[in-house]
């Protein structure tokens, strides 16, 4: 008869991301509610045992880690007719526990618990500490071992980071084997950010799940735009007459060209903000584009040009008057 999978998180009514304190709080509340000395309903004792079993696993970091790693693949192990660890062991109790779980007997634990943690026969002489030390170190000959994680780099353009999308990559592993992978580039991804590809790492041993592949993003420098968080910055060449008299000019953005008004008498180095023209934000919206005006002075002046500039200079205040 197949062994039924038990969702310990559901038993305690907590999320899989629950903290140790949240698990402890949920266990105490339920234990008080269903303790046989308090609750005389026929189903209370069974429920109380289920709650204690769930707490036995989720309150222990090592047991919880093993449960989270092996639990989803439990059906495959159960169908193979043995526990994932391949162990035979005896539960030796835990100091200070309720008498419900005392002595050498693990009969109060479910078949799922015994199968998952190797208790498929009993009497093998492994303590709980022995069992989970073996699970941590992977030294058991038959125990499934999760494969190692791998890390590589992927170089993309700023435009790819802006738009996101799918990228076809060839990844060479440590054994020299090349694999082709379709990688989804998140919109607005940042330089140095990692993309996780679940199950694309090193293969596991003895039926263990493969590890993950982490791709660290490197964004190629752009010839016009510099990234500053979710904002973009660029220098905009402006002719002298445009800066003096004002003008409507077109500015490139990663979305396309937009119109920008240069106010009259704009000083060299002034920065103008274009709202929403930066990089997409993870939570929605976008950063801004900051355009710095770079006034380009005319060359090849005629005599008339020089005379006109002299007249302008005669009316202009000394820009160095405030210097000591």
- Residue 73 carries which DSSP code? G
Contact 49, 100 (CB under 8 A): yes
- In whole angstroms, give the CA distance from residue 322 to residue 165: 54
Name the phi and psi angles at 44, rounded to 5. Answer: -65, -40
CATH class as words, domain 150-219? mainly beta
- In whole angstroms, give the CA distance from residue 19 to residue 84: 26
Q: What is the pLDDT of residue 198?
A: 87
Q: What is the pLDDT of residue 269?
A: 97
Q: What is the pLDDT of residue 143?
A: 58
Q: Rounded to the nearest 10 degrees, how much is the dihedral formed by the CA atoms of 50, 54, 55, 59?
A: 170
- In whole angstroms, give the CA distance from residue 215 to residue 18: 28
Contact 214, 196 (CB under 8 A): yes
Q: What is the pLDDT of residue 18?
A: 92
The CATH-assigned architecture of domain 8-137 is: Orthogonal Bundle (1.10)
- C-alpha pair distances (Å), 166 with each of 108, 183, 317: 51, 6, 58
Taking only Cα atoms into account, the Rg of the chain, rounded to an integer number of angstroms, comes to 34
Contact 71, 84 (CB under 8 A): no
Residue 280 pairs with which residues in a beta bridge? 286
- Residue 238 carries which DSSP code? E
Contact 32, 19 (CB under 8 A): no
Q: Give residues with Cβ within 8 angstroms of 179, minimum separation 6.
A: 170, 171, 172, 173, 200
CATH 2.60.260.20 residue window(s) in the chain:
150-219, 231-297
Q: Which two tokens stand for residue 80?
A: 């193979």
Q: Which two tokens stand for residue 307?
A: 């005379």
Pick the CATH number of 231-297 from 2.60.260.20, 3.40.50.10170, 1.10.3720.10, 2.60.40.10: 2.60.260.20
Task: Print pLDDT tens along the chain (324 aa).
Answer: 556 778 899 999 999 999 999 999 999 899 889 887 788 888 888 898 899 889 988 988 888 888 887 766 665 555 444 443 332 222 333 333 333 333 233 345 777 777 666 543 333 333 434 433 433 443 444 556 778 888 888 899 999 999 998 988 887 766 677 888 889 999 999 999 999 998 888 888 777 788 888 999 999 999 999 999 999 999 999 999 999 999 999 999 999 999 999 999 999 999 999 999 999 998 889 999 999 999 999 999 999 999 999 998 888 888 888 886
CATH 1.10.287.110 residue window(s) in the chain:
8-137
Contact 124, 187 (CB under 8 A): no
Q: What is the pLDDT of residue 246?
A: 96
Q: What is the pLDDT of residue 200?
A: 86
Give the 3-state secondary structure percentages of the chain, helix then strand then coil, rounded to 5. Answer: 30, 25, 45
Contact 188, 162 (CB under 8 A): yes
Specify the 3-state DSSP secondary structure of 258: strand
């Amino acid at each position: 008869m197949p062994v039924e999978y038990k969702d310990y998180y559901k038993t305690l009514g907590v999320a899989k991301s629950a903290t140790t304190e949240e698990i402890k709080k949920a266990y105490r509340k339920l234990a008080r509610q269903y303790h046989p000395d308090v609750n005389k309903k026929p189903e209370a004792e069974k429920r109380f045992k289920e709650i204690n079993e769930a707490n036995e696993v989720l309150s222990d970091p090592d047991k919880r880690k093993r449960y989270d790693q092996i639990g989803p693949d439990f059906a495959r192990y159960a169908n193979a007719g043995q526990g994932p660890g391949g162990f035979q062991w005896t539960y030796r109790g835990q100091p200070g526990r309720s008498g419900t779980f005392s002595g050498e007997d693990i009969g109060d634990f479910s078949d799922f618990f015994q199968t998952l943690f190797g208790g498929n026969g009993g009497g093998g002489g492994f303590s709980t500490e022995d069992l989970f030390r073996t699970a941590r170190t992977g030294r058991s000959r038959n125990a499934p071992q999760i494969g190692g994680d791998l890390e590589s780099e992927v170089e993309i353009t700023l435009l790819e980071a802006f738009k996101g999308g799918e990228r076809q990559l060839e990844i060479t592993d440590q054994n020299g084997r090349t694999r082709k992978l379709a990688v989804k580039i998140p919109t607005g991804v940042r330089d140095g950010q990692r993309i996780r590809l679940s199950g694309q790492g090193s293969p596991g041993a003895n039926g263990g799940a493969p590890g993950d592949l982490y791709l660290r993003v490197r964004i190629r420098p752009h010839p016009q735009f510099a990234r500053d968080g979710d904002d973009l910055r660029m220098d905009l060449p402006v002719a002298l007459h445009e800066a003096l008299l004002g003008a409507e000019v077109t500015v490139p953005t990663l979305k396309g060209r937009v119109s920008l008004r240069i106010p009259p008498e704009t000083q060299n180095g002034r920065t103008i903000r274009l709202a929403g023209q930066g990089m997409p934000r993870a939570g929605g919206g976008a950063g801004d584009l900051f355009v710095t005006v770079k006034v380009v002075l005319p060359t090849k002046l005629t005599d008339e040009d020089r005379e006109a500039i002299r007249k302008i200079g005669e009316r202009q205040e000394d820009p160095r008057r405030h210097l000591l």
